[in-house]
């Protein structure tokens, strides 16, 4: 789908359409991202919501790009003394992706301090044009009227049935007939609609130091959780310069630490770039073609780059993420569940948001419609949940968790944004983005082909591959290969908007793995 005006790629058709409607009304890409994000709380309620965290990237046509860190932080400020280890109170739930299993942890002990709304408000304050209340209105109306689950959201509900059934409040929303909602059945949450409408009027304040924050913290504290009112009152989204990395003849912009995903993506791209510079000396991954062009990296080369990046994710890496200058230091030395919205508007502002509620904690706060996150219960994010990690000292309250989110922009020669993208998918985010960028830049694919191409992912010595990936990609590194029978949401959900550097025409693609959609203004 193409447009010369504004274009939105998002994780749900109605999410995308809400964003595109804002562009038609004269809003900016920032307005569209905010409206689409609020709509996603209703259309994709198992992936995001008022208690979610996220990372945003804004690249104006002129001026500096900005990354906004609105991800979750460790709870426990002013918590009562003598509480036990919160890991003991986590509720493990195993999720079967139909080719891979992953254990998530839920319950009140899994809830982290959150501030996505603070990040959205900051984006809107800098680049928005329409009133915040107008941007919230469509989402509030949908929550009150209800949204029918599409195939992908119904599948997610089945995957997360064990979490959704943990509390009476969650069961009331998701098991109205005594079983989890199915495709075509309506998710209805009028209390969430009231919350969204209020946030449109008042901004993030009610979730920071107002009564909504108090309701969330008190509900958790009364049930053994560690989230406190002080955690929410202290939370602020943080604006930072993005990482800027040369790749081929492009520049890649992505989010900096304390997000882990941007650094790991940059490391993998840097490995591929270095391999390309060394071509002609026996390396077949990015060898030069007949006319000096590069043959795109093979699946084996991609897996090797993933392995190199994965090898950096040590305890020292986790600690370094909170240190100023860590990204520059690491890249110089080494290079030598979720949803996403991407938007480019007619004025050239490019904005992207990746947001997540984790898988949700199963804890819904009465009177608010807020399903709290389970970020502290994700093994991908919390090192203490990994094998052998329980003996590690817990992160201090207030520390940002090391998200894998990495909204990313590709700048063409001359500096104009050629693509803006991001992905859902927990630990698979960086591999999905790596392969999409390689598809765009190295293969010269259009957005649809770049997103649709079969993917591979390396984790814990296992190579997971979709149909169409060369099985030999696992052989060189001696890894175990797990082949999926069909494309699967396990491999992420990339939402991509592209701008032709010569004509300025916009085109986009949304990931069919997660029911994504594109809408134009």
Among candidate residues 33, 1, 139, 126, the one with its CA nearest the CA of residue 407: 33
- Residues 6 or more apart whose Cβ sits within 8 Å of residue 70: 53, 54, 55, 56, 115, 116, 117, 118, 119, 120, 122, 237
Query: Which DSSP helix (H) or strand (E) runs through 456?
Result: strand 456-459
Whole-angstrom distance, CA of residue 65 vs CA of residue 409: 10
- Under 8 Å between Cβ of 388 and 134: no
Interior/surface letters 319-346, b for 16+ CB within 10 angstroms, e for the rest: ebbeeeebbeebbeebbebbbbbbbbbb
Q: What is the CATH number of domain 243-340+404-520?
A: 3.60.20
Among candidate residues 53, 77, 372, the one with its CA nearest the CA of residue 216: 372
- Residues 6 or more apart whose Cβ sits within 8 Å of residue 328: none
Residue 326: is its pLDDT beyond 90?
Answer: no
Show the tokens assigned to 95.
């999720």
Collapsing DSSP states into helix, strand and coil, what is residue 271? helix
- Write down the domain spans for the chain: 2-237+347-385, 243-340+404-520
- φ, ψ for residue 463 (rounded to 5)? -100, 115
Residue 429: is its pLDDT beyond 60?
Answer: yes
3-state percent helix, strand, coil for the chain, nearest multiple of 5 = 40, 20, 40
**DSSP symbol at 494:** E
Half-sphere exposure of 454 (CA within 13 A, CB side): 16
pLDDT in tens, 205-251: 999 999 999 999 999 999 999 999 999 999 999 999 999 999 999 99
Give the residue numbers marked as catalytic: 338
Among candidate residues 204, 20, 48, the one with its CA nearest the CA of residue 125: 204
- Residues 6 or more apart whose Cβ sits within 8 Å of residue 250: 410, 411, 412, 413, 418, 441
- φ, ψ for residue 156 (rounded to 5)? -60, -40
pLDDT at site 242: 96
- Is the preceding omega at residue 258 within 30 degrees of 0, hence cis? yes
Residue 494: is its pLDDT beyond 70?
Answer: yes
pLDDT in tens, 103-145: 889 999 999 999 999 999 999 999 999 999 999 999 999 999 9
Least confident of 181-190, 306-315, 411-420: 306-315
pLDDT bucket at 261, cuts 50 / 70 / 90: confident
Collapsing DSSP states into helix, strand and coil, what is residue 234? helix
Show the tokens assigned to 495.
């939402």
pLDDT at site 479: 87
Whole-angstrom distance, CA of residue 423 vs CA of residue 406: 8
pLDDT at site 319: 57
Residue 478: is its pLDDT beyond 70?
Answer: yes
In the predicted model, what is the mean pLDDT of residues 66-87? 88
């Amino acid at each position: 789908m193409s447009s010369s005006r504004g274009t939105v790629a998002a994780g749900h058709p109605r999410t995308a359409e809400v964003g595109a409607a804002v562009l038609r009304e004269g809003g900016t890409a920032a307005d569209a991202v905010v409206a689409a994000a609020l709509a996603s709380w209703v259309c994709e309620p198992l992936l995001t919501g008022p208690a979610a965290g996220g990372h945003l990237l804004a690249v104006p046509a002129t001026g500096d790009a900005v990354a906004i860190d609105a991800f979750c932080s460790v709870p426990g400020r002013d918590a009562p003394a003598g509480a036990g280890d919160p890991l003991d109170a986590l509720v493990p739930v195993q999720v079967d992706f139909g080719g891979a299993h992953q254990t998530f942890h839920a319950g009140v002990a899994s809830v982290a301090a959150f501030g996505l709304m603070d990040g959205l408000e900051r984006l809107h304050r800098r680049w928005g044009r329409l009133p915040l209340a107008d941007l919230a209105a469509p989402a509030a109306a949908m929550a009150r009227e209800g949204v029918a689950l599409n195939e992908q959201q119904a599948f997610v509900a089945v995957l997360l049935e064990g979490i959704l059934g943990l509390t009476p409040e969650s069961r009331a929303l998701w098991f109205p007939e005594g079983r989890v909602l199915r495709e075509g059945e309506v998710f209805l949450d009028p209390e969430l609609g009231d919350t969204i409408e209020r946030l449109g009027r008042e901004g993030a304040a009610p979730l920071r130091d107002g009564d909504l924050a108090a309701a969330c913290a008190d509900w958790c504290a009364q049930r053994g959780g560690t989230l406190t009112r002080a955690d929410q009152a202290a939370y602020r989204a943080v604006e930072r310069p993005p990482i800027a990395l040369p790749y081929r003849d492009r520049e890649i912009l992505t989010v900096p630490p304390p997000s882990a995903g941007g650094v790991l993506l940059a490391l993998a791209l840097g490995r591929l770039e270095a391999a390309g510079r060394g071509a002609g000396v026996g390396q077949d991954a990015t060898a030069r073609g007949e006319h000096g062009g590069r043959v795109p990296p093979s699946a084996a080369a991609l897996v090797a780059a993933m392995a190199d990046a994965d090898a950096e994710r040590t305890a020292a890496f986790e600690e370094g993420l909170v240190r100023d200058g860590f990204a520059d230091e690491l890249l110089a030395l080494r290079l030598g569940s979720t949803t996403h919205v991407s938007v480019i508007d007619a004025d050239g502002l490019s904005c992207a948001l990746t947001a997540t509620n984790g898988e949700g904690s199963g804890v819904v706060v009465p009177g608010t419609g807020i399903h709290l996150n389970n970020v502290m219960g994700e093994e991908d994010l919390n090192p203490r949940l990994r094998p052998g990690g329980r003996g590690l000292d817990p992160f201090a309250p207030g520390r940002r968790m090391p998200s894998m989110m990495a909204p990313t922009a590709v700048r063409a020669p001359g500096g104009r944004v050629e693509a803006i993208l991001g992905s859902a998918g927990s630990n698979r985010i960086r591999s999905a983005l790596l392969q999409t960028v390689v598809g765009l830049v190295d293969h010269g694919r259009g957005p649809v082909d770049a997103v649709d191409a079969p993917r591979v992912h390396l984790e814990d010595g296992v190579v997971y591959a979709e149909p169409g990936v060369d099985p030999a990609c696992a052989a060189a590194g001696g890894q175990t290969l797990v082949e999926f029978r069909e494309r699967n949401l396990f491999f992420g959900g990339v939402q991509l908007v592209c701008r032709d550097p010569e004509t300025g025409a916009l085109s986009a693609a949304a990931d069919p793995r997660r029911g994504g959609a594109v809408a134009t203004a």
